[in-house]
Amino acid sequence: MTGPWRTVAKVLTEVFQPPVVVSVLLLISPAIEPGFPGTLWFGLLGAFFVCVLPLAYVLVMVKLGRITDHHVSDRRQRTPLLLLALASVVAGLGVLRWINGPVSVAVMITALIGGIAVLAVVSAFWKMSGHASAISAAAVITVLMFGPAWLPVLLLVPAVGWSRIVLRAHTLAQVIVGAFFGGGVIAVLWWLLRNWMLA
């Protein structure tokens, strides 16, 4: 596909890339506990470890020519990167616990650890869509946090998935599996951890 639709696909892919989506998710994660938005900075700290540090590493590696692009299109390059991201996420969780950050941020990070670990394993064999996983998890969690009025955000899932297919970054199967993984595994894990850790 060429022309304006391809441009739309590129915009969707860039605006809703995983680091951006997950950063927003972490920023709003303290909203389920008293003190928000004063506790928003804890979410910002979580986003630094979960998104900013791994993305900075990717950008440096792209600059050095060791990674193809900032979306890490080459499946073979994904597993080492995801393992490094996992280490950064675990470090962030440790820092938040050390400074007695909100449990809600720890819940979100723990759910993301589970998701990143599975993606790292799958990426060694198959290129499941990280974009679809991230937007699906974020959309479902947003609805679970704020209620049915936020159901329209679910429309972002097929929109972002469509963009990845149009840009030939993923097959339809890779997008569908990614979406179900994000919304059906990461979001459910977040829900279970929330009920357990905030009980």
DSSP collapsed to 3 states, 24-49 = HHHHHHHHHCCCCCCCHHHHHHHHHH
Answer whether residue 5 shows pLDDT above 70. Answer: yes
pLDDT band at 1 (very low <50, low <70, confident <90, very high): low
Residue with the two structure tokens 């892919």? 13
Report the pLDDT value the prediction gives residue 21, as an integer from 0 to 100. Answer: 95
- Provide the percentage of residues in the chain whose pLDDT is more than 90: 68
Q: What type of residue sits at position 137?
A: A
Paired tokens of 16: 């809703």
Report the pLDDT value the prediction gives residue 115, as an integer from 0 to 100. Answer: 87
Report the pLDDT value the prediction gives residue 179, as an integer from 0 to 100. Answer: 97
Report the pLDDT value the prediction gives residue 120, as an integer from 0 to 100. Answer: 80
CA–CA dist 179, 131 (Å, integer): 8
- Mean local confidence (pLDDT), 14-42: 93
Q: What type of residue sits at position 113?
A: I
- Mean local confidence (pLDDT), 149-162: 98
Residues 40 and 27 sit within 8 Å (Cβ to Cβ): yes
> Mean pLDDT of all residues in the chain?
91
Half-sphere exposure of 135 (CA within 13 A, CB side): 26
CA–CA dist 28, 164 (Å, integer): 26
